[in-house]
A = this chain, B = another copy of it.
Amino acid sequence: MVKVGIIGSTGYVGAELIRLLLNHKKVELSAISSNSFEGQHIENIYGNLKKALSLKCTAAEEVVSSSDVIFTALPHGLSEEIAEKCFQENKVCIDLGADFRLQDENEYSKWYGKAFSKPHIHPLSVYGLPELNRNKIKSSHIIANPGCYPTSIELALMPALKEKFIDTDGIIIDSKSGTTGAGRGLSQTTHFPECNENILPYKINEHRHLPEIQQILSEMAGTCIKVTFVPHLLPVNRGILSTIYCSLNGAQHADKIYEIYKKYYEKESFVRVLNVGETASIRNVKYSNFCDISLHMQDESNRLIIVSAIDNMVKGAAGQAIQNMNIVLGFDEKDGLEFIPPAF
């Protein structure tokens, strides 16, 4: 049994990691830490875990020392030091925060207001989108788990950008996210009476996931890509739906595009390209590691609309982190992630 630990286990991402790791037959949860709840039993913080786990929250150092794989689910700026330590001790660090997602330190400074604190270890890290970087992930010890919005967007656009049949200019991304994306912390926008019966666009063109999206799309396309990205807060618990608008490079047959997408993802366990006439929605992926993608074309124009849906807490966070762990450890990528999304 591989020993795994979570640093920052009482936030929402940490709680979801616990749930999923307890379903994984080849790993054992050895230690969990929490700044806010150190010394407390996790089942007293998350009542859903009663009879399932009674670990006490400990300190971050203990998690590192007692685990082979360490998941960090922390506010930005706190994972670099832990990652360095893991690297020195030949352990694997999978970071679910933002510290290793951006390669360009200037870009990081601009969006996060601080420099890298351990710049020398950044080149050792890999961006953990398995469908893009599977081989690099296998041999890496520091994995930057992608953001939730970026996951939904990058998977949706990868075949089109790699196969170069869309215009890399003018891509517009209208994303809608459930409220768990905002985490456990309280705010007026996630206060029930203000969030319920509403939909709220926010951080229009100012969301910190924007540079990550642009970095990865640019890498996929082999050219610099700037996008328009508008996230919206939805009155649901889970899920991200991204509606993506782009232009085809000249006339294309719908059949051809479907074929490319289907082929591109045919060996992927967690990406489902829907059939003509079907539309991706949160409902069919929630509580699962699936990303559903549907394609929509207008007859009269060269517009391609791509809709993608993921569960922001699973494929958008904890599930993808476990998928990365499976790759690093040489397990079957589906281990611990084979649960079917419920129909309702």
Chain A interface residues (CB < 8 Å from chain B): 12, 15-16, 18-19, 22-23, 46-53, 170, 172, 174, 176, 178-180, 184, 186-188, 190-202, 204-205, 226, 228, 230, 232, 234-239, 241, 243, 245, 269, 272, 274, 278-288, 290, 292, 296, 298, 300-301, 303, 305, 307, 313, 338-344
Contacts and interface: CB of A to CB of B under 8 A. Distances in A.
Contact of A234 (B53, B186, B199): B199
Contacts of A18: 340
Given A199-B241, A202-B279, A205-B298, A192 B23 contact: no
Contact of A338 (B23, B194, B281): B23
A192 B226 contact: no
A195 B237 CA distance: 10
A32 B253 CA distance: 37
A143 B287 CA distance: 31
A287 B64 CA distance: 32
A197 B283 contact: yes
7 contacts: A16-B343, A48-B285, A51-B290, A178-B193, A180-B193, A201-B307, A339-B339
Majority DSSP secondary structure for residues of A touching B: loop
A342 B48 contact: yes
A46 B296 contact: no
A343 B46 contact: yes
A306 to B, nearest CB: 11
Contacts of A340: 18-19, 22-23, 48-49, 52-53
Nearest to A290: B51
Contacts of A12: 193, 343-344
A228 B22 CA distance: 41
Nearest to A247: B170
Contacts of A51: 269, 272, 290
Q: Which of A22, A53, A172, A338 has its CB near the most chain B CB atoms (within 10 A)?
A: A172
Given A190-B191, A192-B190, A205-B298, A200 B281 contact: yes
Contacts of A188: 186
Nearest to A279: B201
A286 to B, nearest CB: 7
A298 to B, nearest CB: 5
B284 A194 contact: no
Nearest to A187: B186
Contacts of A184: 191
